[in-house]
Copies of this chain bind each other. A is one copy, B any other.
Amino acid sequence: MHRHAGSDAGADPHACGADPGAVLARGEALCRERGLQFTPLRREVLEAVAAAERPQGAYDVAERLSRPGRRVAPVSVYRALDFLMEQGLVHRIASRNAFIPCAHAHGPGEGVVFLICRTCGGVDETSSREVERGLGRTLERAGFRPSHSILEVEGDCGACLERERAG
């Protein structure tokens, strides 16, 4: 139940983990246009991550894809996830060692904020030019040249707060 969260005023909202079909379609289109292979395994891994309500570990995905007669080893899942991350189709949540799907294209240098709900376990993502600007200035003052950054916030999502107030 990852609700999309608005970013800066006027910017486009996000909807990560919203619709597995859309994520798969984007993966396919993106690989075709980049001349890369959207193989069955990669599709299945992306599908498994997109279908889950909460971030999935690589071993979770491996187990989910394995059936009697076909075993998918974690190492294969890791390789698929590496590929999907390079293409911007999934994100890794460092504080959880787990992965979430991404349904939208991130502009270059666009900062992403992961919102991790400690109640329902869901992860939503948003972006903020405001934060990005402030961080840029802070880094400049520190004389630090960034290559990339991660920003993960843990707390309670709107839906869970609502539920708590009601029930």
List residues of chain A with CB under 8 Å of any chain B CB.
5-8, 94-95, 113, 115, 117-118, 124, 126, 128, 130-131, 133-135, 137-139, 141-158, 161
Contact = CB atoms under 8 A, between A and B. Distances in A.
Residue with the highest number of chain B CB atoms closer than 10 Å, among A7, A144, A145, A149: A144
A124 B142 contact: yes
B149 A5 contact: no
A153 B146 contact: yes
A143 B144 CA distance: 32
A115 B142 CA distance: 9
A94 B138 CA distance: 21
Contact of A134 (B128, B145, B148): B128
Nearest to A3: B143
B145 A138 contact: no
Contacts of A94: 94-95, 150, 152
Given A144-B5, A158-B144, A161-B143, A133 B135 contact: no
B161 A154 contact: no
Contacts of A144: 5, 115, 117, 124, 153, 155-158
Given A94-B150, A145-B155, 19 more contacts: A7-B138, A94-B95, A113-B138, A126-B138, A126-B142, A128-B135, A130-B137, A134-B134, A135-B153, A143-B157, A143-B158, A143-B161, A144-B153, A146-B153, A148-B154, A148-B155, A149-B151, A149-B153, A150-B151
